[in-house]
Structure 1
């Protein structure tokens, strides 16, 4: 009798080492015949744990299909882009994505000003995906970009539509970083770099987000989250806050980071 109301039957586990309970089992060795069945493609992705890798030709076919889609001239996403230049040429093309809500970079205008002052003959597109961007307009915005800069998150996936050999830079918040996008970018021949700054100069206190996640935190707990990497506060709550919180870029350090990792800037 199913006292707990759990689903009947067993979960199929592919590796016998992962069978932990009586409700799990490995697949049978003998073939099973069905008169009618739905056959999927299996677990395919570009991450280490996937059963099957997505071949480059599948990526290329998908990108090609997206670029065949018609672009609407009144597209709000394309019309929201602001562009900045240093010099009369644009030998190196940057794009910076900034989000309005979570993971907002608070000092982007100062970052752009410093980059234009430091590097000659570059162009910088300031992109805002909150303005109704769809997959086609995203592909259009980044297809000729050399370096794409974005807060950590789905925006980094724009690298899918960038030319091979280009660079994506993830702007992480203090004490939070993850390498999920490394593997898809590697499969696409797009280089990804992580700008992880653990100094207070890269940190913003996002009280609105913190209150949304946990309104009962004491002032001492809030201070602990801001000043200590390891805290006594619930770990998952702290990780979610640090992942989604506003952030700053330490401009002086970031310029050095660009020079150290993008040698072509010095040759420009």
Structure 2
């Protein structure tokens, strides 16, 4: 009989427990929750309001317009940029994403989520579901569409006038999964809006209070204004320009050669450090090599977790074992814990998204399971390198996978050719039906390499 692995929810050495939980959690999280409650209310006053911060008291209306035109024009390029300049409206459409830009006054009816852009031309209608990923029809069906009317049409009466542009996006999709939350909402928001230096007003369709609360510290650095819930607001707002939808650069990716120019993963990671008040910029600042092992409790479990922990401790690592529990879902606490680590270890899964919070020079070790090679490389391996994080791949042998017992032999098609399985069947087999018993001796070689990458910097 196989030995039942220990039921370890959270294992952490006293120094990090005392440092992170009592002080960091009690002080920062408590205060941030209060700030969130203050920021979460939507704009509902019957009086006309202004939603801009006056940056330069000597700035003329023309200078403000020129500056706004420049910032909005950076969100499109080529023919789309020329169209924006000529007509005041353009949409950038690619395989994976779509967003539309207006650099002229717009009327936004939050009751119907209709954006009206007046012109002397016949009315043209554009419908967009404002989510970064556009290739997934099932996902997009959960996103409320926005209707954009451009042309000679009757304008509604403005109830609120704003001096900053609006950015409309959806907080729907796979909210609740950290990979999708950061990959498809947070990074695209940064790509699309960082250049405005918080002088934008977010309109969050499919309004999700848990999502907005979780990422409050990040969102509050992208906009200095209350995030509007259109379903609760239901009024007419006028803006000097607008962005509908978000730009997507790929899996945990920022492409500095794409629009808007100048942004890279290093910029985003620095933005995260500042937003979440993370202590360590480089792994050399950590006094003793520290490993976090992300423990999965359902599928893709490491069945001999105790042996792996003992081996890492023998190599001289201080080891934290964290299960996917309440502490993992608290962004402020968990990002601080990850940031204090030299090495991050885990089987393939959404939790590896937290590699974003590692200091530069740290090591991410992914346990690469059967049938998940492409996802492991594209979702976490390749992005890690762009984060200035070393990436080590531990590719398991069939004997280490629970699938060998399921299919009976090493040469079974499900093991030798995972692509042969239909997509849904593959998901059930490889994602939902696989655990691993790691070969400790083989994995020790990987951890020795990880130690060698950080030891010189941490002594």
TM-score range, shorter chain: 0.5 to 0.7
CA shift, 1:251, in A, is 0.9
CA shift, 1:67, in A, is 2.4
Q: 1:205-225 CA deviation, whole Å, 9 max, x = no partner? A: 499xx9xxxxxxxx89xx946
Structure-2 change in CA distance of 1:47 and 1:95 (3 Å): same
Structure 2 residue 50 is matched with structure 1 residue 32: no
Deviates most, 47-56 or 161-170:
47-56
Trace 1:2-41 onto structure 2 (pairs within 5 A).
30=83, 31-33=86-88, 34-36=104-106, 37-39=241-243
Which runs of 5 or more structure 1 residues have no equivalent in the other structure?
A: 1-13, 15-25, 69-89, 211-218
Rounded to whole Å, the distance in 2 between the matches of 1:265 and 1:185 is 16
Rounded to whole Å, the distance in 2 between the matches of 1:239 and 1:128 is 22
Q: Which residue of 2 aligns with 1:201?
A: 399
Structure 2 residue 384 is matched with structure 1 residue 185: yes
Q: Which residue of 1 aligns with 2:322?
A: 127
CA shift, 1:263, in A, is 2.2
Does structure 2 retain, via aligned residues, the 8 Å contact 1:148–1:169? yes
Does structure 2 retain, via aligned residues, the 8 Å contact 1:206–1:246? no
Structure-2 change in CA distance of 1:64 and 1:147 (3 Å): same
- SS of the residue aligned with 2:365? strand
Q: 1:128-184 CA deviation, whole Å, 9 max, x = no partner? A: 122342111111211221111011122222222121100011112124223122343
Rounded to whole Å, the distance in 1 between the matches of 2:255 and 2:271 is 22
Rounded to whole Å, the distance in 2 between the matches of 1:59 and 1:265 is 20
Rounded to whole Å, the distance in 2 between the matches of 1:135 and 1:49 is 26
Q: Which residue of 1 aligns with 2:247?
A: 42
Normalising by structure 1, we get a TM-score of: 0.64
Structure ranking higher in helix proportion: 2
Rounded to whole Å, the distance in 2 between the matches of 1:57 and 1:231 is 36
CA shift, 1:98, in A, is 0.8
Deviates most, 169-178 or 239-248:
239-248
Structure-2 change in CA distance of 1:231 and 1:187 (3 Å): closer
Trace 1:1-268 onto structure 2 (pairs within 5 A).
30=83, 31-33=86-88, 34-36=104-106, 37-39=241-243, 42-44=247-249, 46=253, 51-52=258-259, 54-55=263-264, 56-67=266-277, 91-117=288-314, 119-120=315-316, 122-133=317-328, 134-177=330-373, 178-179=376-377, 180-197=379-396, 199-205=397-403, 224=412, 227-230=415-418, 233-244=421-432, 245-260=434-449, 262-264=451-453
Q: 1:73-127 CA deviation, whole Å, 9 max, x = no partner? A: xxxxxxxxxxxxxxxxx7321110011112211111111122333x13x211001
- SS of the residue aligned with 1:127? strand
CA shift, 1:186, in A, is 2.6
Q: How many pairs align?
A: 210
Which of these two proteins has the greater Rg computed from alpha carbons? 2
Structure-2 change in CA distance of 1:181 and 1:128 (3 Å): same
Structure-2 change in CA distance of 1:35 and 1:230 (3 Å): closer
Structure-2 change in CA distance of 1:228 and 1:58 (3 Å): closer
Does structure 1 retain, via aligned residues, the 8 Å contact 2:355–2:384? yes
- SS of the residue aligned with 2:344? strand
Rounded to whole Å, the distance in 2 between the matches of 1:171 and 1:106 is 13
